[in-house]
Structure 1
Amino acid sequence: MNKNVKTLTLDHTTKAFLNFMNAHKVRHAPVIDLPGEHSKKPCFIGVVSERDVLRLRPKRVTDSDDENINPKAMRQLLQQIVARNPWSTSPDTTAPDVIRIMVENHIDMIPVLSDGRIVGVITTTDILKLFSRIDTAIEALYPELKEQSRTKPPAPFDAADESTLFSWFFQNLGDVMTREVVCVESMRTLSDAIDAMKKGEFRHLPVIDENARLAGIISDRDILRQLPFAGRRPPLQSTKFRDHLFRADDDTPQLLLGVTEFMTRQVISASADCRICEAAKTLYSMKISCLPVLGPQRRILGIVTVADLMRALLPLYETTGQSKS
Structure 2
Amino acid sequence: MTTPVYATSPNKTIKSVANFMSKQGVSHLPVIDSNEELVGIITKHDVLRAFSQKFHGMFKVSDFMLDNPTIVSPTHSIFYVIDVLLQSSAGKVVVVSDGKPLGIITKSDVLQPLLNINVYIRSFSSSSKTLRSLCEVFKSNTVLIASDVMTTDPIIVPHNEDLAKAADIMVKNRVGCLPVVNSKGTLVGLVVKDSIIKALRGMKTESS
TM-score, normalised relative to structure 1? 0.50
Q: 1:123 to 1:134 in 2, by over 3 A?
A: same
Distance across 1 between alignment mates of 2:88 and 2:199: 21
Distance across 1 between alignment mates of 2:89 and 2:37: 31
Residue 122 (str. 1) matches residue 8 (str. 2) = no
Q: 1:255 to 1:106 in 2, by over 3 A?
A: farther
Which of 146, 168, 193 is the matching residue for 1:259? 146
1:98 counterpart residue number = 17
1:203 counterpart residue number = 91
1:89 counterpart residue number = 7
1:7 counterpart residue number = none
1:270 counterpart residue number = 157
2:31 counterpart residue number = 112
Which of 48, 53, 64 is the matching residue for 1:133? 53
Q: Which amino acid aligns with 2:68?
A: E
Q: Report Cα offsets for 1:96-155 as digits up to 9, x if no partner.
A: 44313433555332233578864421111211111233147xxxxxxxxxxxxxxxxxxx
1:224, CA displacement in angstroms?
Answer: 2.3
* Bigger share in strand: 2
1:213 counterpart residue number = 100
Unaligned runs of 5+ in 2: 119-133
Residue 315 (str. 1) matches residue 195 (str. 2) = no
Q: Is the 8 A contact 1:213 1:297 kept in 2?
A: no
Deviates more, 1:191-200 or 1:90-99: 90-99
1:201, CA displacement in angstroms?
Answer: 2.9
SS in 1 for 2:161: coil
SS in 2 for 1:319: coil
Q: Whose RCO is larger (CA < 8 A, sep 6+)? A: 2
TM-score, normalised relative to structure 2? 0.75
Q: 1:113 to 1:263 in 2, by over 3 A?
A: same
Residue 286 (str. 1) matches residue 173 (str. 2) = yes
1:227, CA displacement in angstroms?
Answer: 3.0
Q: Is the 8 A contact 2:70 2:92 kept in 1?
A: no
Q: 1:321 to 1:284 in 2, by over 3 A?
A: closer
Percent identity, please.
22
Residue 179 (str. 1) matches residue 67 (str. 2) = yes
2:124 counterpart residue number = none
1:176, CA displacement in angstroms?
Answer: 1.0
Q: Report Cα offsets for 1:1-29 as digits up to 9, x if no partner.
A: xxxxxxxxxxxxxxxxxxxxxxxxxxxxx
Q: 1:97 to 1:256 in 2, by over 3 A?
A: farther
SS in 2 for 1:207: strand
Distance across 1 between alignment mates of 2:183 and 2:12: 44
Distance across 2 between alignment mates of 1:127 and 1:108: 10
Distance across 2 between alignment mates of 1:314 and 1:129: 16
Q: Which amino acid aligns with 1:100?
A: N
Q: Which amino acid aligns with 1:291?
A: L
Q: Is the 8 A contact 1:293 1:301 kept in 2?
A: yes
Q: Is the 8 A contact 1:189 1:255 kept in 2?
A: no
Q: 1:195 to 1:312 in 2, by over 3 A?
A: same
1:173, CA displacement in angstroms?
Answer: 0.6
SS in 2 for 1:261: helix
Q: 1:194 to 1:268 in 2, by over 3 A?
A: same
SS in 2 for 1:228: helix
Unaligned runs of 5+ in 1: 1-82, 137-168, 231-249
Which of 31, 55, 80 is the matching residue for 1:192? 80
